Amino acid sequence: MMTSPDIPLRTHCPLCGPAPSGLLWEDAQLRVIRVDDSPFPGYIRVIWRSHAAEMTDLSPAERDHLMRAVYRVEALQRQMLQPDKINLASLGNQVPHLHWHLIPRWRADPCFPDAIWAPGHHDPVRQAAWQQQAQDLSARVPALHDAIATTLKGT
C-alpha cells in the first residue's frame, strides 16, 4: 500500500484510533458506522481503518474489499427504505482518511436535489410533508441497521 505524505494530519485524525460510536460492523480493514446525528434517515458511513487518503492509496484487492462493503450497504438501503436515490460520496476534504458516505435520498428531503451539505429548502409545505415521511422512515432504520450487521457478518 502506498502511504499519503500527511503524517502531521494523521496524528490528529479523528478516524484513526478506536471505533466511533454507532459501529454496526467491522473487520480488520473497515468499519461500518450508522450516522445518528443527521436528519437523513438511514445514513451510513463506511470507513477504511488504516490512514489512507485516496482510493488509489489502496491495493486493487483492498479497493475491491471496500467497495464490496459499500455496495452491500447500498443494496440494503434500497431494499429496506426504498429511497428515490442513493448518494455515494467520498470527499475527505476535511478529514483526509478514506470514508464513504452512503445517503438515501428522497425528493421531499430538506436538500433534494442538491447534496445534503447544501443549504436546505425552507418551504413550509415541503417541510411538513418531509417531517411525516422522515418519521416513518426513521421507524424502519433499526431494521436496516440489523440487516447491515447480519449481512456483513455473513461475508
Closest CA to 105 of 80, 134, 83, 88: 83
| Closer Cβ to Zn ion, 9 or 108, answer by number | 9
Q: Does 65 bind Zn ion (CB under 5 A)?
A: no
Q: Does 53 bind Zn ion (CB under 5 A)?
A: no
Q: Least distance in Å: CB of 10 to Zn ion?
A: 6
Q: Does 13 bind Zn ion (CB under 5 A)?
A: yes
Helices (H), the chain: 7-10, 60-81, 124-153
Q: Does 116 bind Zn ion (CB under 5 A)?
A: no
Read off the C-alpha cell for 29: 480493514
Instruction: Single out the segment in contact with Zn ion by CB under 5 A; choices: 13-21, 31-39, 81-89, 138-146.
Output: 13-21
Read off the C-alpha cell for 69: 462493503
Listed in sequence order, the residues at least 6 apart from 140 whose beta carbon sits closer than 8 Å to its beta carbon are 41, 42, 80, 81
Q: Does 15 bind Zn ion (CB under 5 A)?
A: yes
Instruction: Single out the segment in contact with Zn ion by CB under 5 A; choices: 10-18, 56-64, 73-81, 142-150.
Output: 10-18
User: Using the rule CB under 5 A, which residue among 16, 67, 111, 149 binds Zn ion?
Assistant: 16
Read off the C-alpha cell for 88: 455515494
Residues that bind Zn ion (rule: CB under 5 A) add up to a total of 5
Rounded CA separation 147/34 (Å)? 12
User: Using the rule CB under 5 A, which residue among 31, 34, 72, 97 binds Zn ion?
Assistant: 97
Q: What is the dihedral angle through the alpha carbons of 86, 92, 97, 100, rounded to the nearest 10 degrees? A: 0
Q: Contact positions toward Zn ion, by CB under 5 A?
A: 13, 15-16, 51, 97
